[in-house]
């Protein structure tokens, strides 16, 4: 199988695997009588980050640490600039109170902590991986507690999925869950193998392909979800879900991968270039949320975000 076909096949398997995993995990969560909002902000966020988890874990096991870092950093950049930018072009994205008071501050703190760890350790040691997982559990607990306390019942684009998924039988839900995991595993294998071969063939660094092609591919679930939300004008928690996904990418994906095997930085550009773009874009999102906007991301800001992403791709490649 050619590397290009392997890469494309990997992307397709990751997409369908992510879809099945989301549906199966949501249905099981609902059968446990967890509210739809909490499911959307925890289970769905984790499930849509599953492609990043499988790809990064497979990359580290194959000795390609730069793919693991590039995948997460590139996906976080794509979520804010590409996914949110496209969504804002379709309609103005309203910013929820929870995003202002909890989600964005946690994203900023976790992003800064991520950079500090990479700078100090030149990677992520195992003990820090376990710490990230612990912080993720704390974040999920705070999120659930706050949601119940505030009695938030806002509709999101996941709600229709949740209602549909709740009718699935236990056997069917488990089937979706297992099928999703299997597809994600094979998708990650093909995607990582194809990426490594293409990088060698065209003498392109693994980091560049990871922050571009791989990152966009693993962000497909978030992009598809946000576009559906935009078309249905279900925007109450659109930005919150993207921020939640970025938090999960750092704390869950890198935490789990590092707890399995320490991740070291091979290409210094991961820290000096890619991370700098990621944290700068995260700060810019904060300006949009707290300063420039009236609790919304406008179409103009969506255009700005897309132009920033195009610029990032240009400078990454050339």
pLDDT of residue 80: 94
The DSSP symbol for 263 reads: E
State pLDDT tens for residues 270-303. Answer: 999 999 999 999 999 999 988 876 678 888 999 9
Task: List the chain domain ranges.
Answer: 3-317
Pair of tokens at residue 91: 């309609």
DSSP annotation string for 85-118? HHHHHHSPEEPPHHIIIIIHHHHHHHHHHHHHHH
CATH T-level fold of 3-317: A middle domain of Talin 1 (1.20.1420)
* 226-254 mean pLDDT: 74
> Residue 126: is its pLDDT beyond 90?
yes
The alpha-helical segments, DSSP class H, found in the chain are 3-31, 36-41, 43-48, 50-61, 65-78, 84-90, 97-98, 104-121, 126-150, 157-165, 170-201, 206-209, 215-218, 220-231, 238-248, 255-260, 269, 275-287, 299-317
CB distance 133 to 251 below 8 Å: yes
Mean pLDDT for the chain? 81
Residue 149: pLDDT band (50, 70, 90) is: low
Whole-prediction pTM value? 0.80
Range of lowest pLDDT (74-78, 261-265, 292-296)? 292-296
Pair of tokens at residue 196: 């490594």
* 84-103 mean pLDDT: 83
Task: Output the CA–CA distances (angstroms, integers) from residue 248 to 54, 122, 198, 294, in the order listed.
Answer: 13, 21, 28, 27
State pLDDT tens for residues 182-227. Answer: 887 788 788 878 888 887 787 888 888 888 888 887 777 777 667 6
Pair of tokens at residue 123: 């990677």
Residue 13 CA to its chain's centroid (Å): 17
Specify the residue for token string 């992520």: 124
Residue 29: pLDDT band (50, 70, 90) is: low
* 83-96 mean pLDDT: 84
Nearest Cα to Cα of residue 185 among 91, 318, 302, 54 = 54
Interatomic CA distance for residues 255 and 125, integer angstroms: 10
- Percentage of the chain with pLDDT > 70? 80
Pair of tokens at residue 261: 């095997």
């Amino acid at each position: 199988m050619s590397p290009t076909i392997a890469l494309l096949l990997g992307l397709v398997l990751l997409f369908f695997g992510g879809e099945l995993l989301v549906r199966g995990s949501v249905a099981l969560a609902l059968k446990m009588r967890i509210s739809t909002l909490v499911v959307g902000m925890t289970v769905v966020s984790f499930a849509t980050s599953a492609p990043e988890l499988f790809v990064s874990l497979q990359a580290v096991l194959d000795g390609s640490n730069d793919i693991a870092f590039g995948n997460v950093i590139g996906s976080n950049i794509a979520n804010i600039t590409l996914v949110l930018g496209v969504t804002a072009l379709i309609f103005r994205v309203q910013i929820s109170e929870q995003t202002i008071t909890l989600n964005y501050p946690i994203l900023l703190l976790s992003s800064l902590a991520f950079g500090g760890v990479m700078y100090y350790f030149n990677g992520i040691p195992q003990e820090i991986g376990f710490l990230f997982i612990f912080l993720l559990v704390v974040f999920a607990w705070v999120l659930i507690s706050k949601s119940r306390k505030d009695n938030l019942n806002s509709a999101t684009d996941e709600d229709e999925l949740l209602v549909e998924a709740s009718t699935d039988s236990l056997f069917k839900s488990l089937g979706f869950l297992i099928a999703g995991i299997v597809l994600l595993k094979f998708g990650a294998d093909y995607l990582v193998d194809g990426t490594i071969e293409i990088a060698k063939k065209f003498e392109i660094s693994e980091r560049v392909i990871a922050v571009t092609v791989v990152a966009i591919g693993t962000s497909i679930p978030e992009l598809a979800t946000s576009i559906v939300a935009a078309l249905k004008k279900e925007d109450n928690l659109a930005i919150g879900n993207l921020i939640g996904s970025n938090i999960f990418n750092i704390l869950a994906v890198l935490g789990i991968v590092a707890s399995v095997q320490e991740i070291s930085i091979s290409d210094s550009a991961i820290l000096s270039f890619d991370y700098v773009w990621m944290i700068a874009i995260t700060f810019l999102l904060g300006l949009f949320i707290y300063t420039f906007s009236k609790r919304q991301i406008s179409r103009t800001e969506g255009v700005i975000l897309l132009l920033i992403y195009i610029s990032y791709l240009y400078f990454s490649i050339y």
